[in-house]
Structure 1
């Protein structure tokens, strides 16, 4: 961690190198939809760098931009994989999707990142209402596996759930497969 004893020391360094820009932890949390505790957890395990300025911790702005870019690439990869699954008329386990986009099912932070990515996918597909790609995700690889809880919560919250969960999921899968087979 880089340390500046005074705010003046930091500002002098920043004037010569604006890439040293840093933001308060709360601002970093707000920018990424995280809690302060989650940002502090990332700092604790050194997944996110910090700068000490006059005894207070700040987050380098460049690290936040890198975090955003990485998550955007993971989102793009996840969407691509789900679209390919739709064209192939298959389902995908959450674990295999996480692995494909560079996340570990064993990491709590990776699971949170995955949940944020799924939330973005839910909201990206929601305006169309006919194609909900995350319906292709499965909690596990068993025959009766359902999509992740976040998907079911999303469709209930948006008022999209029609009938029982299993019937709704089965109908949505058919819609997704039909829509993507027609796109080819």
Structure 2
């Protein structure tokens, strides 16, 4: 494949799956500028790694998620304030939630997104993939953990989120 053909193939695949980049950037970027920088860094890393992409071993979306999440998690870990996250605002929820306007979203969904934003980077990645209806095998491949670990972590995160949701409803927070 020529360099031009490779570039055209990459561009087409990137365009087809671009929402992955925006979802990851929206989940890990603290500000609009951070999200833009993260999306750009993810795209650059995808291009740098594209020559090693093997369509036989993985779907493009799986490969893309793995790289996007690795870049996002690496950047989150390098930030000195890695434990602090910006609260979700309308822009975040519109980006992550799809095309549905914020004023039509259920208040419970807004609360849930706020709790998800407080998860550590790996668990946030796991829930992001879970909400995308990815299989345990695919999540394991993307995150580099076992399927058993995926199942265990998802169960714990769901239990934690459920408890937080109940507490929020009880206190009216």
* Higher RCO, Cα 8 Å, sep 6+: 2
Answer yes or no: same fold by TM over 0.5. Answer: no
By percentage of residues, which structure has more helix? Answer: 2
By percentage of residues, which structure has more strand? Answer: 1
TM-score, normalised by the number of residues in structure 2: 0.29
Larger Rg: 1
